[in-house]
Amino acid sequence: MSTSTDQGRTVVPDASRARTRRRRWWAEVGWKYPLAALVVFYAAFPLAYVLSASFASSGTLTGSTQLFQEFSGENYAALSSTQFWQWAANSMVIALSVVVGAVLMGAAAAYAFSRFRFTGRRLTLGTLLIIQMFPQMLAFIAIFLLLLTLGDVVPQLGLNSTLALICVYLGGALGSNTFLMYGFFNTVPRELDEAAKIDGATHAQTYWTIIVRLVTPILATVALLTFVATFGDFILSRIILTSESNWTLAVGMYGWVSDQLNANWGLFTAGAVIASLPVLLLFLFLQKYIVGGLTAGSVKG
């Protein structure tokens, strides 16, 4: 393609400039769209497949080769003949109790580490950091033996006790939540504490009326993460809860597909769709706090 010269300057045709802009756009921005489409498809296809299987009356995952080929509410209606709703109520009670306890204990501990200076403070923070590297399920044998022995003395804290399961979850949530909240509490200016102290406010009044309102993003983030982890836990709840009426959704629904010869995937997928709604609604409700809570909490004070 030829170019013309205007007073010693080379004039590039419009078509050449357009191709240059397109190449630059693809190099900087354009490649992200195909990648985003691939990621969305990879994430959405399993969800669509589960939703399609929940509307199929065959009760299998391999019975059809087309999505949403059949629409039937048999699987959802069949849930009423099981203990699904009892398991759902158990899961909600346990998850909400753990969320409230974890947020209150974690916030109180983080406030103490952030605002007070006492002997062993750094050692305790380091210990919490190391402990949170190991998942709680690694101690399930010790937890089982502990509850087995404790149940002989205090039956309410032994095996097959919802209260015992809540206590176990709270013990594991304290370490990671405290360290995450600690970083966020350090971002709150200490001048606010000093101003409140000058006005005659106690530590409790400063904490509840000023600090808690300013750290709402991290409280919401911890609440969401704790709820998701507790609501979907299987190992600890399966070990501690032995009677079917006390099971959570994860334990009860596993029984529907644990037998390969009699697995009812239609019932399982219908239950999974309904069980995902509380997590989805909570995520949408707290979404505006998540990014701020995680990023600010990662700053070391």
Q: What is the mean pLDDT of the chain?
A: 83
Domains in the chain (CATH in brackets) are: 13-76 (no CATH), 82-297 (1.10.3720.10)
Compute the distance between CA of residue 222 and CA of residue 166 in angstroms, rounded to an integer: 16
**Which has more pLDDT, 256 or 12?**
256
Tens-digit pLDDT profile for residues 140-181: 888 899 999 998 898 888 898 999 999 999 887 777 788 888
Q: Give the pLDDT of residue 24.
A: 84
In 3-state terms, what secondary structure has residue 161?
coil
For residue 21, pLDDT over 50 is answered with yes
Compute the distance between CA of residue 301 and CA of residue 298 in angstroms, rounded to an integer: 9
102 Cβ neighbours under 8 A, 6+ residues apart: 169, 170, 173, 174, 177, 222, 223, 226
For residue 1, pLDDT over 50 is answered with no
Q: Is 7 exposed, middle or buried (0-12, 13-18, 19+ CB in 10 A)?
A: exposed
The fraction of the chain above a pLDDT of 70, given in percent, is 90
Q: CA angle at residue 54 from 62 to 45, to 5 degrees?
A: 70
Q: Give the pLDDT of residue 275.
A: 93
Q: Give the pLDDT of residue 85.
A: 94
**pTM assigned to the model:** 0.81
In 3-state terms, what secondary structure has residue 241?
coil
Tens-digit pLDDT profile for residues 177-236: 888 888 888 888 888 888 888 888 888 888 888 888 888 888 988 999 899 999 999 999
Confidence band for 68, pLDDT divided at 50, 70 and 90: confident
Q: Give the pLDDT of residue 179.
A: 80
Q: Show the tokens assigned to 147.
A: 């509850």
Confidence band for 62, pLDDT divided at 50, 70 and 90: low
Cα Rg of the chain (Å, integer): 27
- Angstrom CA distances, 12 to 15, 25, 58, 108, stand at 8, 19, 65, 67
In 3-state terms, what secondary structure has residue 5?
strand
Tens-digit pLDDT profile for residues 113-136: 888 888 888 888 888 878 777 777
